[in-house]
Chains A and B, each alone.
Chain A
Amino acid sequence: MSQQHTPQRPSPNVGLFITCLADMFRPSIGFATVKLLEQTGCRVSVPEQQTCCGQPAYNTGDRRTSAEIARMTIDAFAGYEYLVAPSGSCVGMIKYYPELFDAEDPYQQLAQSLADRSYEITSFLFDVIGIEALQAQLQQLTIPRTVTYHDSCSGLRQLGIKQQPRELLKQINGLQIEEMTEAETCCGFGGTFCVKYPEISNRMVSNKSEFINDSGADTLVGGDLGCLLNMAGKLQRLGKDTPDALVEARHVVELLADMLDTPGIGEQDVRRLKATTPTTDFALGTEITGSAAQPRK
């Protein structure tokens, strides 16, 4: 659970845990995260000795490998006040590290310490740094989009992340949040689950896609790239004949850091959402009119 934490120094020393998926598939998430952290005065480093949080091993029942990876990650982040990652799922895994060691093992304490210092990015910004540090910057932005937020499971139920990303997004001018039905229901990704049980996973992500499309949003936003790859992949497969009507999928940090100059997840080109007059070129299925189109000033 997120607890109020006061940074020990005015410019906390943060180690970025990039996550294996963002590292490989979408580095822009990493750069957006760094930008947000630096904007709020953090000193950011990226420890070289990190790879993956170990979740695939942990969820396959391989505790030994999980513990070896945990030890490596604990050492890699030993010198940092905080570990911050653009994923609730990976941070959730790091919170399990203490369970991987016996009480006598010196790594048990170190694991506990790392677990206590680890945060998902929106929770770090909102619960640790405080929204004030970012408010002015966010209020300068104008992003005329209607977004719908998918609550990823570990972030929501293990870390209690629900209002943090929404409160941050709300600061942005022109941005509207339309909640989808069952925002809290699993998208069916589940790490290896989606390849072990592809048909069940497909049913789950099909349901999810329906809710996303029905929400009327032009942008799907979430805090975990695994889920976003799953949902974006499904939305694009379902909507392959109507590419202009596709909901664009983005990680929450891309909006907060105003880094929308890369194509949406799984897209080739950057799409531009028009603020005032809906045009055929750029319409994304939902015409943005009314309050969403008018930048709040």
Chain B
Amino acid sequence: MDINTPFFKARASEALQDANLQQALGNLKQGFPHKRAIAVERMPEFEALRDQGRDLKNHILEHLDLYLEQFESKVTENGGQVHWARTGDDANRIILDICQQVNAKTVTKGKSMVSEETGLNDYLEKNGIQPVETDLGEYILQLRGDHPSHIIAPAIHLNLEDVSEAFHAHHNKPKSDDPVTLMQEARDALREKFVVADVGITGANFCVAETGSTIIVTNEGNGDLTQTLPKTHIVITSIEKVVPTLEDMTLFLRLLARSATGQEFTVYNTLSSGPRREGDQDGPENFHVVLVDNGRSEMVGSQFQDMLRCIRCSACMNHCPVYGAVGGHSYGWVYPGPMGSVLTPKMIGIEKGAALPNASTFCGKCESVCPVRIPLPKLMRHWREDEFSKHLTPKAARYGLGSWAFLAKRPALYRQFTKASSWGLKLLANSPFGGKKGKLESLPLASGWTDFRDMPAPQGETFMQQWKKRQNAEQTDGDAS
């Protein structure tokens, strides 16, 4: 996928002007956070579960190698195969290889953000294999040549008209704007694809070490058909998804559904434990798991390790006022919102990704809802430190900070400066330019502020000046008496 993250500011600016998008974002804000709040309210032990989730993930990350090895040996025992992919490109090559071995022409795909990360669809198409997305949202995006703007509701940025147009252009049916009709159209189109697909590719929400199983959770059931009908099932997922036992998995499933959509449980929870065995009614003949690293193992033991606890619930973006203002595409790569602002610089480099960890007020809302308590603002700050230490911070900000710091470290000089500034600003506010309104409507060097709001003027003398006078007066009073 193209990297547009360096253009975050321009993209955000466009997004803010896009009325359709703004409406969609408004709906999102009313939807998921509200439902999560109800679900949390109904579960008094939710906060304790979050602690458990955090602790269990930390334990897993301490022993990641062991659990991954256990997972691999179980998958092998079940008759499947695990492939290790250091980079996204490695993962794509491995998958193409498997597809070519079975002479695949078309593959169906369940939703997978890791495959977005590796750019799998483009890669397969370039190599003559047609991938078909089967998650409704992803399917719509594929028809439009679009990409997800949200990790669990990929087409959240679109409205009914967009869908209606996309279907009309591809389905050879009269144009409809009835959601039920549109759904039926998608169902019919996808059924055909399911039946002829040679390979089914899905992601995995978790990989269970004790059984060698992978699990996907969906609300549409498309994943089941993707993985059971074709002869070959390939799971593409990343190394931090491993959990020790089935029981551990259920802890995360409970946290995931509530944090994501406010459901107590997602509708379809489908486990895959290897290829079809004798006597099985259905299932693939071949089962492959491609475990993608793509920078993750470097995060273990680093100051970004906490990020690997992420279970991709999307709560952080659903509650984020910045995501809510600009939408997912502004972030310019695969992962948007607070979790994307931490992950993206790791995956595309801080040189290209620095805009994201900077685009935060550190309001802390994301951390307050994260089911595994990832300190997202702190991790974004670590990226800013990385940026600063590599001298990547924009010059204007650096100089501004430098001169401010020079003063802030010298109280006496600082006093002179604040005295002069508040006097100057007050004067300006009272001049004909200020309009004598106790505020400034425009201010050179601060147009970022005054383009949109007034700048309240200082009251006059600084507190420190006035305090000194008060002290002196008290002193004189004391002397006189």
Residues of A within 8 A of B (CB): 18, 20, 22-31, 46, 48-52, 54, 56-63, 65, 68-69, 72, 153-154, 157-158, 184-186, 188-205, 207, 229-230, 232-234, 236-237, 262-263, 265-269
A204 to B384, CA, bound (A): 22
Please name all residues of chain A whose beta carbon is closer than 8 Å to the beta carbon of B455 when the two chains form the complex.
Answer: 229, 233, 266
Please name all residues of chain B whose beta carbon is closer than 8 Å to the beta carbon of A233 when the two chains form the complex.
Answer: 439, 449, 453-456
Q: Which of A68, A158, A198 contacts B448 (CB 8 A)?
A: A198
Residue of A nearest to B437 (CB): A268
Please name all residues of chain B whose beta carbon is closer than 8 Å to the beta carbon of A52 when the two chains form the complex.
Answer: 404, 408
Judging by beta carbons under 8 Å apart, are A157 and B459 in contact? no
Judging by beta carbons under 8 Å apart, are A27 and B321 in contact? no
Please name all residues of chain B whose beta carbon is closer than 8 Å to the beta carbon of A268 when the two chains form the complex.
Answer: 436-439
**Complex A-B: 17 CB contacts under 8 Å:** A24-B418, A25-B456, A27-B463, A30-B463, A46-B467, A48-B411, A61-B385, A61-B386, A69-B409, A153-B363, A190-B361, A196-B359, A198-B452, A199-B12, A200-B326, A204-B321, A267-B437
Residue among A20, A49, A194, A198 having the largest count of chain B Cβ atoms under 10 Å: A198
Please name all residues of chain A whose beta carbon is closer than 8 Å to the beta carbon of B454 when the two chains form the complex.
Answer: 232-234, 236-237, 266
Judging by beta carbons under 8 Å apart, are B453 and A190 in contact? no
Tell me whether B245 is interfacial, beta carbon within 8 Å: no
Interface size on B, residues (CB 8 A): 63
Please name all residues of chain B whose beta carbon is closer than 8 Å to the beta carbon of A269 when the two chains form the complex.
Answer: 438
Main secondary structure of the interface of A (DSSP, over half): helix
Judging by beta carbons under 8 Å apart, are A198 and B449 in contact? yes
Tell me whether B451 is interfacial, beta carbon within 8 Å: yes
Asked, given contacts A199-B16, A202-B452, whether A154 binds B401 with beta carbons under 8 Å apart, the answer is: no
Q: Which of A23, A202, A267 contacts B418 (CB 8 A)?
A: A23
Residues of B within 8 A of A (CB): 9, 12-13, 16, 321-322, 325-326, 358-365, 367-368, 381, 383-389, 393, 397, 401, 404-405, 407-409, 411, 414, 418, 421-422, 436-439, 441, 446, 448-449, 451-464, 466-467
Judging by beta carbons under 8 Å apart, are A195 and B12 in contact? no
Judging by beta carbons under 8 Å apart, are A205 and B358 in contact? no
Judging by beta carbons under 8 Å apart, are A203 and B325 in contact? yes
Judging by beta carbons under 8 Å apart, are B408 and A51 in contact? yes
Query: Distance (Å) between the CB of B173 and the closest chain A CB?
Result: 39
Judging by beta carbons under 8 Å apart, are A196 and B405 in contact? no
Judging by beta carbons under 8 Å apart, are B422 and A63 in contact? no
Please name all residues of chain B whose beta carbon is closer than 8 Å to the beta carbon of A237 when the two chains form the complex.
Answer: 441, 452-454
Q: Which of B322, B360, B409, B451 contacts A68 (CB 8 A)?
A: B409
A198 to B360, CA, bound (A): 12
Judging by beta carbons under 8 Å apart, are B418 and A61 in contact? no
A167 to B124, CA, bound (A): 62
Judging by beta carbons under 8 Å apart, are A18 and B463 in contact? yes
Q: Which of A31, A194, A195, A234 contacts B463 (CB 8 A)?
A: A31
Judging by beta carbons under 8 Å apart, are A196 and B397 in contact? yes
Residue of A nearest to B367 (CB): A157
A196 to B368, CA, bound (A): 25
Query: Distance (Å) between the CB of B194 and the closest chain A CB?
Result: 42
Residue of B nearest to A152 (CB): B363
A59 to B454, CA, bound (A): 25
Query: Distance (Å) between the CB of A34 and the closest chain B CB?
Result: 8
Residue of B nearest to A233 (CB): B453
Which 7 A-B residue pairs are closest in the complex by CB-CB distance?
A190-B361, A266-B456, A61-B384, A233-B453, A61-B388, A186-B363, A27-B463
